Amino acid sequence: MDTKELLKKVRKIEIKTRRLSDHIFGGEYHSTFKGRGMTFSEVRQYQFGDDVRNIDWNVTARYNEPFVKVFEEERELTMMLMVDVSGSELFGTVEQFKNEVVTEIAATLAFSATQNNDKIGLILFSDKIELYIPPKKGRSHVLRIIRELIEFEPESKQTNFAEALKFLSNVMKKKAIVFVLSDFITDDYHQTMKIVSGKHDVTGIRIYDKHEEEMPNLGMVQMQDEETGELMLVNTSSKKVRLNYGKYYQERVDYYKDSFTKAGAGTIDCRVDESYVKKLLGYFKRRG
């Protein structure tokens, strides 16, 4: 992709997602993730209706009239976007590939965080850490993240979510808001997820295509595993083959939901042909 085409794509995504974050998600994001707590702001004279528990007795004694401590919400937060860039994300049968929807959702979340003056970081992972962008503020930083999401080419096509979670724990010492965008067609991360979620506010956003849920009856078809590159002939007219595939797929989905729920993390399921706007808004409102 040449520079001109890339900039055009970045601009297109910015216009669409920034409008969403400005008009829809900004307020919802703020009310859902309120900050780490209250921090001291100033001391002022007592006014009728003030909480007597906030009286500063030292200042009150000094001036011989009541003064209260004023606190304000500690607003600045850090958002980490963890994005699966393994081979299975390059799949789509309707309007968009999964990775295109992932880019739009990530951009919308990033601009929502920017509105609240929060830092945004990015981790791209396959079966290893492909790219890490440390958290920073500002529009130009978000645009860099979008550029990477559009044009980055991973070295590996396989997935190891547990390794990505371990990396997050190592680089993020303070509590962060973490959004994991993946199809979660993987396992062996249950325990790691529990540890990470005990420290960070984690939400999994599962992006999937409706044709992944069940195998269609198309007769004998040559298929390729997007993660291993293996080619195989599959008899899709076999009911047993279709049932086994459906069972395997559902087991991965159940593992994802079970792992996140038991760890106290949130989950959002978003099909590529559905509105991710409604899904995100519904999630924020339930949490807020």
**Domain-wise residue ranges, the chain:** 3-32+76-287, 37-74
Q: Taking the C-alpha atoms of 220, 225, 230 and 235 in order, what is their torsion angle to the nearest 10 degrees?
A: -20
Which pLDDT does position 236 carry in this prediction?
A: 77
* Phi, psi torsion values for 7, nearest 5 degrees: -60, -35
Is the pTM value of this prediction over 0.85?
A: no
pLDDT tens for the 288 residues of the chain, in order: 667 787 788 888 888 788 777 766 666 776 777 655 555 667 889 888 888 888 999 999 989 999 998 765 555 789 999 999 987 665 545 567 888 899 999 999 999 888 888 899 999 999 999 999 999 998 899 999 999 999 999 999 899 999 999 999 999 988 899 999 999 988 899 999 999 999 999 999 999 988 887 777 788 777 766 666 777 788 778 888 888 888 989 999 999 999 999 999 999 999 998 889 889 888 988 886
Q: What is the CATH number of domain 3-32+76-287?
A: 3.40.50.410
Question: How do 67-74 and 37-45 pair as beta strands?
Answer: antiparallel
Helix (H/G/I), strand (E/B), else coil: 117: coil
Helix (H/G/I), strand (E/B), else coil: 280: helix
Which pLDDT does position 196 carry in this prediction?
A: 96
Which pLDDT does position 72 carry in this prediction?
A: 56
Question: How do 201-208 and 266-271 pair as beta strands?
Answer: parallel
Element (H, E) at 16: helix 3-20
* Distance, CA of 57 to CA of 131 (rounded, Å): 52
DSSP letters of 135-187? EE-SHHHHHHHHHHHHH---S-----HHHHHHHHHHH--S--EEEEEE-----
Count CA atoms within 13 Å of residue 156 on its CB side.
12
